[in-house]
Structure formats: structure tokens, C-alpha cells
Amino acid sequence: MTSASEPAQQPGAPHSTAEKLADLTDRYDKAVHAGSAAAVQKQHARGKKTARERLELLLDPGSFTEFDAFSRHRSSNFGLDANRPYGDGVVTGFGTVDGREVCVFSQDVTVFGGSLGEVYGEKIVKVLDFAAKTGRPIVGINEGGGARIQEGVVSLGLYAEIFRRNVQLSGVVPQISLIMGAAAGGHVYSPALTDFVVMVEGTSQMFITGPDVVRSVTGENVTLEELGGARTHNTRSGNAHYLAADEDDAISYVRELLSYLPPNNLTPAPIDPDLAPAHAESAGAGSAEITDADRSLDTLIPDSPNQPYDITVAIRAVLDEGEFLQVQELFAPNIVVGFGRVDGRGVGVVANQPQHLAGVLDIDASEKAARFVRTCDAFNIPVLTFVDVPGFLPGTDQEWNGIIRRGAKLIYAYAEATVPLITIITRKAYGGAYDVMGSKHLGADINLAWPTAQIAVMGADGAVNILYRKQIAAAADEHGADSEQVAALRKQLQTDYEDALTNPYIAADRGYVDAVIAPHATRAEVAKALRVLADKRESLPPKKHGNIPL
């Protein structure tokens, strides 16, 4: 059913109270069913929900309050005045998620293909302004084909108005974008400016120019999914933060994500009362109880420094109930980021992943971690860092594509953070990567090391080749480069180097590590550190803004 295009008053307008109430009901029914039945059926046939169905799934039942349900476009260009549906193709308002208020908008692809016009844009601007005024998170559900051509430059102007507010709200209230269908042209930049982007496998796409334009300009043949599909943006571009199996999964992820985020930057991160100790004097008591998961950490690190292991085992052992909500899990898997809780307190986790590229830092990993640390810092979420990093990835590809500049973003993120910073070195912490990964020198508050930690300028293999190259060369000349004597000499020199320089006690002696702890004590130590740092106060020098190496 399409909405009526009649003016506000016309012959036969209602006069009695009953007639006016009936008229209101009729108008609201038309607003709810603004898209045609055929368009809705087509949407469902694609396995997608309508704009209002998505809001019903996101928000607590009965909590939604709508803004501007009766707004209609004002354009008469190209016959638009003959079709003026209520709502103009976007549903806006506020409601609750698990009892916490959020502001929302949901774009309706069944009305004008979800294209953005003047009123459509004004409605989004209004709800963004309301989120700023009330200090509430904003969740945007996106699906649309770009600017409404019939409305001309006014559509472009409203895009920019939205972008400006996304920037103004950045770091003030959490902004989350759900991409539930195709988002093209100007529709993609607002999500790109938000904190988190969720896409659905098989039905979500984001692109500036579509495959046809790409083919005509560059001659490149590429499918819609290859160019801007959900998996592409989750694995290659890094534009998305979660790959959902379907729309229900996408919305479920957003609901869980919101549980870790405060409503705004002036509010502490939420504490789960079901997981927090009942009394202050018992805080940390539960964490002090050694569990089987804690004990498993004592055997997590292999004897061979080159053997991989799964760092998420350590992460889940430290977090309440082993629950860890990963962010950008499929992008730069050599570093892991996500949210969890310790004694009910929300934390952001950053960890090198030895199972992928030995946990090395490269361009993508550096930018992924830097953005996450800055997001946590913006919203008062402590950062817990697990370190097992052999260094930065070498190679011309990395150097030519800016590893110096882009790797420096991670330095910047840790150095400017004022939230509690807790770092655990589990194994390798080599070279400049040691500094970058939440070191004491960058401002971390509590730095812990396991006895398996190796903190040095470089690993034993590389160090021995430099420090003892003449001695090794002489032995090779005498016995042959592949001789048992040279192998034995090299092994002994590596052992001497490890004993002298790579153990954690040298760093502990200098105060670079606050304590060397048994792995099974990690959860208890982290809980105590979070408790003592809960009232941390640190400020940066006054400035307009820093100049992060973008």
C-alpha cells in the first residue's frame, strides 16, 4: 500500500474527536506501510527484513518512540509531487536495548529505493542531533541507493550535514552502523565515519562505484560481491567489523556490542552486576580462586619459541565466563581485538596471535589495533594487552605501503590513551614492537610478564648472527658451514644470549615490568589492577587536536 498524497486539509476533513482519532490511525497505518506491498514482498523474497521489522528486532518490545512519521518530501521535480509517502523512506526515533536508551534510524529501501532526499536527510540529522543532546548511542540501519537524483544538490547537501554530525559525535557517543543491503555512493561514507560497521554475508554490499562503472572506466570485470560484499570488507578492506550470517545474527551482535559500551564519553564503561563482586571488600576474591582454565595457562606456552599457540585461550581464561566478543575477527588475524569483562568490569583486549604470521605486526594489524585502542580510550574502557610479538613484518610491500607511518598509529594510540592500560607479556617482545605493544614506556599502568617472556632487541637467532658472526665464520671455515661443530656452537651461543638477555627479569630489574607472575595468576592480577585503576585520572597537555600519522 502506498501512502496518500493528499494535502493536510481537504474537503471532508475530520472534525469530531472520534473522526480525528480515526484519521490519526489511518495516517499512521499509511506511514507504517509506506512501501508498496510488491516492494515489501520483493524484500522478503531476498531474505531481508523491512526497515521497521529490523527496528522491532533491535529494540526492546514496546520501547520505540518515532520521530517525524508524517514527514513527506517537498519536491515537485519529475512528477515526485504525485507520490509523497509518509516518512520519506527512513524511520527515526529512540528506544531501548536491554533497558538502555539508544537513538536509531532505519533506511527503507521499499520507498524510492532508499535514496536520500531533503526530508530523509533532515530526519537523520534530527536524530543525530538528539543523540548528541541526550548523550545516547546511535544505531543506523543502512540500505539505499545513494542520492535521490530528482532532488538534485539538496540531497548532496544533506549527505554532508550527516557526515559533519558523524564527525562531531565521534568519541562523544558510540555510533554503530548495520549494512543490511546495498549501500552505494554517498550512503557509504556515514557508516565509514562511525565506530563499528556490521555487514551480512550474501546480502550486504558497500561501494562508491558499482561493477558497471568499474568495468567501463578500468575494463576490470568484478562481481558485486567481489567488489564490495560483506566478506570483502571483513577480510580485505577492513571497513567492516563483523560478518553476520544473517540479519538476526547482525542485530544480535549489535545488541551484545552495546552492552560493553557506555552511553557517552562522560560515563564510565558499564559494569555487569551479575558478574561483579557483591561487596567492595570481596572484590577480586572470585578472581583469586584458581580454576582449571587458570591452570591451563601454565602449559600454554610451548618450549620451542617458534611453535604457535592460540592466544584466545589465554584471553578467555582471564575474562568472565570465557566470553570474548571479537571485533574485526577476519581482518588482520595476526592481531586479536575485542571486548570482555573481568569481575564484571568491561575491558577492551588487544593481543598478538601467534597462530597467524607468528603474531607479527604489519600495516593492517597496526591500524586495526590502533583504531580499537582509540575507541576504547574514547569511551572509558580499560585496555588489556597480551604481547607475543617477534617484530614488524619485513619486506618491500610493507615498506612501500607505509609501515613506518601506519605502524606509528599504534604508538600514537597507546601513548595518548588515558584509560587504565594493563599489559601482559606472555612470550616474545622483540625490538620496536616491544615498545609499541602497550609498553611501560608508552604509559601503561601495570605491566606483567610470565616467566616465559623474552624481552630483547631481537630473538636469539638474529642476535647471534650479528654478535658472533666472526666466531661463527671462523668455525665454518674450519669445520664447514653445515658441520655439527658449527651447529653446536650456534646453539650454545643462542642459549648464552637467551640466558643473558631475553628473560623477563632484566626488564623487571629496571622497572619496565612491574611483576613476573605465574600464568595461572593472571586473572587475579588483572582483576586487582582494574580495581585499583578504576579511579585513574590522567590528562594530556591542552591542544586543539593531535596530528596522528594518517
The residues carrying an active-site annotation are 185-186, 432-433
> Distance of alpha carbon 239 from its chain centroid, rounded?
10
Cα–Cα distance, 18 to 215 (Å, whole number): 59
Angle of helix 311-318 relative to helix 522-532, nearest 10 degrees, comes to 60
- Contacts by 528-531, CB closer than 8 A, 24 or more apart: 528/284, 528/287, 529/420, 529/422, 529/445, 529/446, 530/342, 530/343, 530/345, 530/347, 530/382, 530/420, 530/422, 531/283, 531/284, 531/343
**DSSP letter, residue 147:** B
**Residue 243: in which H helix or E strand, if any?**
strand 242-244
Q: How far is CA 158 from CA 121, 151, 154, 192, 461, in A?
A: 5, 11, 6, 16, 59
Strands 175-184 and 100-107: unpaired
**DSSP letter, residue 234:** I
Cα–Cα distance, 60 to 282 (Å, whole number): 34
Q: What are the cell numbers at 179?
A: 549494512
- The answer to whether 368 touches 348, Cβ cutoff 8 Å, is no
DSSP secondary structure string, 369-410?
A: HHHHHHHHHHTT--EEEEEEE--BPPSHHHHHTTHHHHHHHH
Cα–Cα distance, 26 to 1 (Å, whole number): 12
Convert 175-224 into a string of H (helix), E (strand) and C (coil). Answer: EEEEEEEEEEHHHHHHHHCCCEEEEECCCCEEECCCHHHHHHHHCCCCCH
Total count of residues recorded for the chain: 550
> Distance of alpha carbon 402 from its chain centroid, rounded?
22
Collapsed DSSP state (helix, strand, coil) of residue 417: coil
Cα–Cα distance, 103 to 88 (Å, whole number): 19
Cα–Cα distance, 65 to 63 (Å, whole number): 7
DSSP secondary structure string, 442-474?
A: GT-SEEEE-TT-EEESS-HHHHHHHHTHHHHHH
Angle of helix 460-467 relative to helix 484-497, nearest 10 degrees, comes to 110
Contacts of 364 (CB under 8 A, 6+ apart): 238, 331, 332
Cα–Cα distance, 244 to 253 (Å, whole number): 8
